[in-house]
Amino acid sequence: MSISRSGGQLVVDALQVHGVELIFGVPGESYLPVLDALHDSKIRFIINRQEGGAAFMADAYGKLTGQPGICFVTRGPGATNASIGVHTAYQDSTPMILFIGQVGNDFVEREAFQEIDYRRMFGPMAKWVAQIDRAERIPEYIARAFQVATSGRPGPVVLALPEDCLAAMAQVADTRHYTPVQASPSATQLSQLREHLAAAQRPLVLLGGTSWDTLACQRISDFAKINHLPLACAFRFQDLVDNAHPNYIGDVGIGINPKLAQRIKDADLVIAIGPRLGEMTTGGYTVLEAPIAKQKLIHIHSDALELGRVYQADMMINSGMKEIAEALSTMAPLDASAWQHTVAQAKADLQAWQQEPAIFAQENAPLNLWQVVQTIQANTPDDTIITNGAGNYATWAHRYYRYGGFRTQLAPTSGAMGYSVPSGVAAKIVHPERTVITFAGDGEYMMNGQELATAVQYKAGLVIIVFNNGMFGTIRMHQEKEFPARVSGTELHNPDFAALARAYGASGEVVNSTEEFAPALARALAHTRQYQLPALIELRYDGNLITPGASLQTLRKMAQDAGK
Ligand SMILES: Cc1ncc(C[n+]2csc(CCOP(=O)(O)OP(=O)(O)O)c2C)c(N)n1
Ligand SMILES: [Mg+2]
């Protein structure tokens, strides 16, 4: 018979059974037995400054490794703070497990201090929510949590741990390591897919979603190359292909290259491998019309329930990404003479789209943000990880940075602000040997900028670039389009970000002009390497530079001319 262990010890032992080495969180007295068991474990507990930051770090960990990101938080207040990360993991299909200390069973249901019913609170934004009421069942619940978080379409699981359950002693054996389960395409489906492709004139492959790994991405890139297929990536999954790959033709998201949108509309076959086909990836259901697209559509997804949810595709294949990639890598090459020429055309469209926009010259702008991205690209290794949250500043990365391949991009498809800094810090902790550059808006930075303290504490030497335009730019942009010249609720009076960074123990510099940026970046990179401490560069620029294509003034005038 196994020895008697506390609930807290059983939780930590179960995590170790499943290979966990790194976890994130904010402590609470609600889970002291877990904290105590961690004391003698090999698990590294990264202590965050706010649960939103902790949950975003767990999401970033899940995206980077494919293993569930683990986050520990306390009852009601901790859990509510962490919810943004759970929602993001759900929308982004990221494996994650959130453990919450819960009110003991002696007081539960009395609206005890900080009590919330997590099943109801997290029900719509997690794959599975449960409460473990008996210490003997902790190994079973945790094994299932790992199983659920990683199988099919990955996502978040929430487990509540009542105080008395963590304190209780139980004799129970450990489980085995979990085994993620994914579907595979059948031989019949593969031969049908091949027939559709053979009959096509203008096929296009669209990649997205999670449960990929380096080999699967390589296999799909090779499949595209051998068959001369144009390869696009869905919104914020643009690192599934090395962007320098000859077949990569651009990302399908907000502010899509109009030529790429037209190319998808004109395609006669779209093979969507992995993405959910939501409005960000379909131009609000215009590039692919719902429920029946004009193009022939083959939708391949890891979740059977995602297939047919919106699109009644011509073929729907339930498959994991590794499984479909392996299957496609063995497919006999097709005669590509009908479409072979389109790859170079589409690549040329992408390259033209990535040229310097005219706006900086037009506006006589001292700081050229396109040049900023070029400078970053030229001075960092190909495996650099770029992170960002929501905001118009992200466009400069998405459109002009050429991502170096699998897991060089961490960005929330949920469009959550506040993701940039925690994901950057987590990336640097997971991969200390890689360069990490975080793009943050001035609004966005303030939502989780406190995690700079976490970066300093754990010596995570990332570079943070704050795009300070003095406003919630995205909302101001929409405001000018709908209600021109009526600025309301979108202005920001900011602290001195560089001075603030120095107060945290990071380096901090302000850049006002293009010439200042390259030396500032060199100093920041040197600082991160020499001291393993973060560096922040604040870019101060005129808020009129809102998009690469049009200034705020132009948008205002267009709206006024349209009678708004
Ligand atoms: C948590 C959260 N709150 C609010 C929003 C709505 N929102 C989207 S972008 C944006 C403004 C972002 O401002 P900033 O970070 O300064 O970037 P900018 O657009 O100015 O470049 C807001 C408020 C959001 N997406 N997420
Ligand atoms: Mg801003």
- Type of residue found at 458: Y
- Type of residue found at 127: K
* Token duo for residue 507: 């380096």
Please give the helix or strand (H or E) that residue 524 lies within, else none.
helix 514-531
Query: What is the CA(4)–ligand 2 centre distance, in A?
Result: 55
- Type of residue found at 394: A
Each residue's pLDDT tens digit, 89-104: 999 999 999 999 999 9
**CA dihedral angle for residue 480, residue 390, residue 283, residue 153, rounded to 10 degrees:** -160
Query: What is the CA(487)–ligand 2 centre distance, in A?
Result: 14
- Type of residue found at 349: D
The residue contributing the CA closest to ligand 1 atom 5 is 417
Q: Which residues contact 300 (CB under 8 A, 6 or more apart)?
A: 185, 271, 272, 273, 274, 316, 317, 318, 319, 324
Chain-centre distance of CA 540, in angstroms?
A: 26
The pocket of ion ligand 2, defined by CB under 5 A, consists of 441-443, 469, 473
Burial of 184 (0-12, 13-18, 19+ CB in 10 A): middle
Select from 393, 474, 546, 552 the residue to mutate for testing ligand 1; criterion: most ligand atoms less than 8 Å from CB.
474
Select from 372, 438, 472 the residue to mutate for testing ligand 1; criterion: most ligand atoms less than 8 Å from CB.
472
d(C-alpha 448, C-alpha 28), whole Å: 20
Each residue's pLDDT tens digit, 360-373: 999 999 999 999 99
Across the chain, what does the average pLDDT equal?
97
Each residue's pLDDT tens digit, 255-298: 999 999 999 999 999 999 999 999 999 999 999 999 999 999 99
Residue with tokens 């509540």: 160
**Are 239 and 231 contacting, i.e. CB atoms less than 8 angstroms apart?**
no
Query: What is the CA(133)–ligand 2 centre distance, in A?
Result: 46
Mean pLDDT calculated for residue range 203-226:
98
Scanning 319-363, the segments in alpha helix (DSSP H) are 321-329, 342-353, 359-362
Q: pTM for the complete prediction? A: 0.98
Q: How many other β-carbons are positioned within 10 Å of the β-carbon of residue 364?
A: 7
At residue 2, the pLDDT reads 79
**CA dihedral angle for residue 497, residue 501, residue 502, residue 503, rounded to 10 degrees:** 100
- Ligand 1: nearest atom to the Cα of 467: 21
- Give bridge partners of residue 282 from the DSSP assignment: none
d(C-alpha 52, C-alpha 446), whole Å: 12
- Ligand 1: nearest atom to the Cα of 389: 15
The residue contributing the CA closest to ligand 1 atom 11 is 472
| Residue 471 DSSP label | B
Each residue's pLDDT tens digit, 524-545: 999 999 999 999 999 999 999 9
The binding-site residues of ligand 1, defined as CB within 6 angstroms of any ligand atom, are 390-393, 415-418, 441-444, 467, 469, 471-475
Mean pLDDT calculated for residue range 168-184:
98
Query: What is the CA(286)–ligand 2 centre distance, in A?
Result: 29
Each residue's pLDDT tens digit, 460-476: 999 999 999 999 999 99
- Type of residue found at 87: H
At residue 1, the pLDDT reads 57
The residue contributing the CA closest to ligand 1 atom 13 is 472
d(C-alpha 390, C-alpha 418), whole Å: 8
- Ligand 1: nearest atom to the Cα of 468: 16
Report the DSSP pairing between strands 4-6 and 169-171: antiparallel
- Type of residue found at 504: Y
d(C-alpha 236, C-alpha 409), whole Å: 8
Query: What is the CA(498)–ligand 1 centre distance, in A?
Result: 21
- Ligand 1: nearest atom to the Cα of 418: 1
d(C-alpha 154, C-alpha 171), whole Å: 32
Select from 59, 387, 444 the residue to mutate for testing ligand 1; criterion: most ligand atoms less than 8 Å from CB.
444
Mean pLDDT calculated for residue range 502-518:
98
Task: Strand 463-468: give its sheet, edge to edge.
Answer: 409-410, 385-388, 436-441, 463-468, 535-540, 507-511
Q: Note the residue count of the chain.
A: 564
Query: What is the CA(391)–ligand 2 centre distance, in A?
Result: 7
Query: What is the CA(443)–ligand 1 centre distance, in A?
Result: 6
At residue 153, the pLDDT reads 98
- Give bridge partners of residue 205 from the DSSP assignment: 231, 271
Select from 236, 392, 439, 447 the residue to mutate for testing ligand 1; criterion: most ligand atoms less than 8 Å from CB.
392
Q: What's phi and psi for 86, nearest 5 deg?
A: -70, -45
Ligand nearest to the CA of 545: 1
The residue contributing the CA closest to ligand 1 atom 18 is 473
- Ligand 1: nearest atom to the Cα of 442: 16
